[in-house]
Amino acid sequence: MKKWWVGSLSGFGALASANVALANAGFERGNSPGGPSVNQLNLPTPMSPIAADIMWLHWFVLAICFVIFLGVFGVMFYSIWAHRKSRGVKAATFHENVGVEVAWTVVPFLLVIAMALPATQTVVAMKDTSSSDITVKATGYQWKWGYEYVDGPGAGISFLSNLATPAAQLYGQEIKGVNYLLEVDEPLVVPVDTKVRMVITAADVIHSWMVPSLGIKQDGFPGILRDTWFRAKQTGEFRGQCAELCGKDHAYMPIVVKVVERDEYTAWVEERQAALLASADDPTREWELDELMARGEKVYAANCVACHQANGQGVPPAFPPLDGSAVVLGPMSEQIDILLHGRPGTAMASFAQLNDVELAAVATYTRHAWSNDGKAQDGTIQPSDFTAAR
Ligand SMILES: [Cu+2]
């Protein structure tokens, strides 16, 4: 007969081979310190002082719980065993015992204070965003994050951070990568050992900006600003996700914080600002067709392909094709309207958060790409057309 424990042993075997499979897939240490790793049971390795405090509190409170557990169950089991009926023990019949009552009031009271003091200290420290070196505003959108450097070196830089996991992985046509659903096209870049103040908000519904290894989880509310901070202890890429159920693509808005050396950060800022000047998204000038097309292809790839597909065929009936669409080929006013306001009640959201150059570029791109080329009414759509329609 098969012994009962043989089954459990083979269960462990299956677990072990699953771990080997994960390790082969590159999950050994993830590729981020504090990221997911084989057999990870503990909280992620703390990469900021606040995260270290949170980890300490977690173990401190757990240790107290464990001691209480041992004490309570120790007394209980000892009493049951030592005073059992078969030994002829008679129940005592006393009432009230000042000593015991004082003890079971004072001891828990002291324990609560011992836990509340360091916990309060940590919460107060989390909220102390004073004398920060850099301020970044993070805005939650359905379903991506927008970052805007508002103060300190890099002020003026802003971009959207989209999920970068290829659609083929989402739909099981390709092996899932190491950072499946935890990778973005443009990470938030910050320097190491620098106090970064994060101002969190949202544009549509409530989102939450959470990076466990930095000890941050802050809800973002439309119309309200909340702030928190971190000081990364070492360089690397730290990953997190939106942590407030915000709609159907809630799982598709990860967060990547790329912490770099200070001089590397300065170089990144310079490169960004130079690119900003060069591309000079000047919405007032007249743009050439091929300029708009080149720019529009990128905007389309970053914002539209998930639903309308790279070939413009969409996924009917859920997502209509843009190739041959009457709206795309019709008068430009309708297309401007749908991009600025979306179609309420459908998955077609407003893209008003893109700037007028990006909007004009993507609209022009859809009018001239695929088989649409040469069929659209009106000429190129110019940024100034969007400026006027806002
Ligand atoms: Cu969200």
CATH of the domain at 72: 1.10.287
Find the 73 Cα to ligand 1 centroid distance in Å: 43
* Range scoring the smallest mean pLDDT among 7-16, 37-46, 223-232: 7-16
Q: What is the mean pLDDT of residues 239-255?
A: 94
3 within a domain of the structure (yes/no)? no
Q: For the segment 135-152, what is each residue's pLDDT rounded down to a tens digit?
A: 999 999 999 999 999 999
Q: Identify whether residues 69 and 160 lie together within a single domain.
A: no
pLDDT of residue 172: 86
Domain boundary residue, one of 68, 100, 127: 127
pLDDT per position as a tens digit, 316-351: 888 999 999 999 998 889 899 999 999 998 999 999
Q: Let me know whether 166 and 31 are in one domain.
A: no
* Same domain, yes or no: 269 and 175: yes
pLDDT bin (cut points 50, 70, 90) of residue 247 is very high
Residue 77 has pLDDT above 50, yes or no: yes
Give the whole-angstrom CA distance, residue 316 versus residue 189. 38
Residues 92, 188: one domain? Answer: no
DSSP 295-330: HHHHHHHHHTHHHH-TTS--BTTTB--STT-HHHHS
Do residue 29 and residue 94 come from a single domain? no
**149 plus 271 within the same structural domain:** yes
Residue whose C-alpha is closest to residue 121's, from 65, 200, 53, 197:
53
For residue 240, the CA-to-ligand 1 centroid distance in Å is 12
Confidence tier at 42 by pLDDT (50, 70, 90)? confident
* pLDDT > 70 in the chain, percent: 90
Burial class (CB in 10 A: 0-12, 13-18, 19+), 51: buried
Whether residue 5 is contained in a domain is answered as no
- Average pLDDT (40-66) is 92
Condensed to tens digits (0 to 9), the pLDDT of residues 80-124 reads: 999 998 999 888 888 899 999 999 999 999 999 999 999 999 999
- From ligand 1's centre to the CA of 312, what distance in Å? 27
Length of the chain counted residue by residue: 390
Which residue, of 66, 94, 127, is where some domain finishes? 127
The whole-number average pLDDT for the span 184-203 is: 96
142 alpha carbon – ligand 1 mean position (Å)? 6
Query: Is residue 223 situated within a structural domain?
Result: yes
In a domain, 96, yes or no: yes
Q: What is the pLDDT of residue 278?
A: 66
98 and 163 fall within a common domain:
no
Q: What angle do CA 285, 289, 295 make, to 5 degrees?
A: 80
Q: Do 171 and 117 fall within a single domain? A: no
In a domain? residue 15: yes
Determine the distance separating the centroid of ligand 1 and the alpha carbon of 36, expressed in angstroms. 21
| Integer Cα distance of 30 and 314 in angstroms | 34
Same domain flag for 274 and 138:
yes
Residues 6+ away with beta carbon under 8 Å from 177 = 165, 169, 183
| Cβ proximity of 352 and 390 under 8 Å | yes
The neighbour count for residue 342, using CB atoms within 10 Å, is 15
> Which among 60, 95, 127 is the end of a domain?
127
Please tell me which of 28-42, 201-215, 271-285 the model is most confident about, judged by mean pLDDT: 201-215
For ligand 1, a single-atom ion, which residues have Cβ within 5 Å?
207, 242, 246
Out of 73-87, 240-254, 279-293, 341-355, least confident range: 279-293
Mean of the per-residue pLDDT values of the chain: 87
How many angstroms does the Cα of residue 307 sit away from the middle of ligand 1?
18
Distance of CA 100 to the CA centre of its chain: 50
Same domain, 233 and 303: no
CA distance 380 to 372: 13
The answer as to whether 1 is a domain residue is no
CATH of the domain at 321: 1.10.760.10
Q: Whole-angstrom Cα distance, residue 85 to residue 23?
A: 56
Domain total of the chain: 4
Residues 138 and 232 in one domain: yes
Residue 218 CA to residue 291 CA, distance in Å, equals 40
Domain that holds residue 192: 134-279
Cis preceding-peptide flag for 370 (omega within 30 of 0): no
In a domain, 284, yes or no: no
Q: Categorize the per-residue pLDDT at 307 as very low, low, confident or very high, splitting at 50, 70 and 90.
A: very high
**What pLDDT, on the 0 to 100 scale, is given for residue 147?**
96
Same domain, 266 and 311: no
